Amino acid sequence: MTRSHTFRSALIGAALATSLGGVSFLSAQTVAGPATGQPRTADPAVRGIPLSEFPRFVKLADNVYGYEEIRQPGFTTVSLVVVGRDGVLIADGQGSPAATQTMLDRIKTITPLPIKWYIVGSDHGDHTAGNNVLPAGITYVVQRNSLAQLKRDSTAAATAGRAAVIVPPRAMTGDEETIDVGTTRVVVKFLGRAHTGGDLMVHLPREQILFMSEAYLNRVFPAMRSAYPSEWVEVTNKALALPNVRHFIPGHGFIETPAVSREELVRFRDAIIQVNAEAKRLKGLGLSVEDANKQANWGELSGWFLAGQQAPVAIRKVWEELDGKLPK
Ligand SMILES: [Zn+2]
């Protein structure tokens, strides 16, 4: 990270600590919908949104909300909340028991109904590490690659004496599962391996909403630690081609208006293509990852969140794919 990024992160961290330590149980902030005319960035400061506004709900349709909460180093992690007739469906949690508990408390300001369903959009800890505060007995939907990863994480956590990882009892059997929550129809889709390998999306056909979890990082550098770099491009293209989608919701970065959400998903797809191409070019120079990282030219992407941290990770992963070393 650049020095200015680090400095800004420290400021944001301090502001976040203040807001969490202060009056954090006022009724939830709910904005009527995504804001129009915003700068294209994941940075709340650049968008002019004070950190005291988070966490907040962004109303997407009747009974459907995006939940934006700030994570380090200062951009949002987004969860989806669908209020059904007898219970609530969540897609993705937050990154710690405290953050997920705050989300559950905020959901109570919208509805008294209990949580009944949880979709594992991303198996990564910044979305699942708070899942031990979810009620027992809820129905999990998880893709088999993510279930396998959560089992590995659970074993590793037990060995290291860390907090237990919640492992759903079973994986979905196909690539699609429909849940009638009483107020609307929810279709969980696996469009292929992208950011985690078990990436699930949540489609609400009537509302024309697609929650993409970490397959869509809005103005955050493509994070590839566990990614499938070229398949990720195909997955975003499949999402863009789906019928009955107007509004694409990211797993990180801001929820945009429907028209901007499509433009930004195209921009993000192009960013993944660019990262693939640049890493491939660097491989051709026969450099070490370290030297390749120094010589890399990411253009505008170098100003996106996590660029400094994620660029060498992406180079390594793209090279692994080019060498045929990714899991089949
Ligand atoms: Zn994440």
Q: Report CA(125)–ligand 1 centroid distance (Å).
A: 7
Mean pLDDT of 126-155: 97
Torsion of CA 29, 33, 209, 203, to 10 degrees: 10
Q: How many domains does the chain have?
A: 1
User: Which pLDDT score is estimated for 29?
Assistant: 82
How far is the centre of ligand 1, averaged over its atoms, from the C-alpha of 163 (Å)?
A: 19
Report the CATH number at residue 304: 3.60.15.10
Q: What is the pLDDT of residue 198?
A: 98
- 193 CA to middle of ligand 1, Å? 15
Please tell me the distance between residue 235's alpha carbon and the centre of ligand 1 in angstroms: 17
pLDDT greater than 50 at residue 255: yes
Neighbours of 285 (CB within 10 A): 9
What is the rounded CA–CA span in Å between residue 69 and residue 39? 19
Q: Measured in angstroms, how far is the CA atom of residue 27 from the centroid of ligand 1?
A: 26
Q: Output the pLDDT for position 28.
A: 66
CA of 201 to the centre of ligand 1 (A): 14
Q: Would residue 22 count as lying in a domain?
A: yes
pLDDT at 6 over 60: no
- Residue 285 CA to ligand 1 centre (angstroms): 32
Q: What are the DSSP E strand ranges found in 72-114?
A: 75-83, 88-91
Q: Measure 121 CA to ligand 1 centroid, in angstroms.
A: 10
pLDDT tens digits, residue range 59-84? Answer: 999 999 999 999 999 999 999 999 99
- The pLDDT of residue 171 is 98
Q: What is the mean pLDDT of residues 117-129?
A: 98
Q: CB atoms < 10 A from the CB of 37, how many? A: 6
Let me know if residue 327 belongs to a domain.
no
328 inside domain: no
Q: What is the pLDDT at residue 1?
A: 37
Region 195-210 average pLDDT: 98
**67 CA to centre of ligand 1 in angstroms:** 14
Query: Would 21 be classed as within a structural domain?
Result: yes
Expressed in angstroms and rounded, the spacing between residue 286 Cα and the centre of ligand 1 is 31
Report pTM.
0.91
pLDDT, position 10: 41
Cβ-contact 275, 252 below 8 angstroms: no
Is a pLDDT exceeding 90 seen at residue 168? yes
Tell me if 318 sits within 8 A of 280, measured CB to CB: yes
Per-residue confidence band for 270, with pLDDT thresholds at 50, 70 and 90: very high
pLDDT at 25 over 60: no
Residue 28 has which token pair?
A: 């939830």
Distance 284 CA to ligand 1 centre (A): 30
Alpha carbon of 293 to ligand 1 centroid (Å)? 23
95 CA from centroid of ligand 1 (Å): 8
Q: Cα of 254 to ligand 1 centre, how many Å?
A: 13
Ligand 1 centre distance from Cα of residue 251 (Å): 7
On the question of pLDDT at 133 being above 50, the answer is: yes
Q: Is the per-residue pLDDT at 11 higher than 80?
A: no
Does 26 score more than 80 pLDDT?
no
Mean pLDDT value of segment 8-19: 41
Task: Print the domain residue range for 177.
Answer: 3-322
Is residue 316 in some structural domain? Answer: yes
DSSP helix/strand/coil, 145: helix
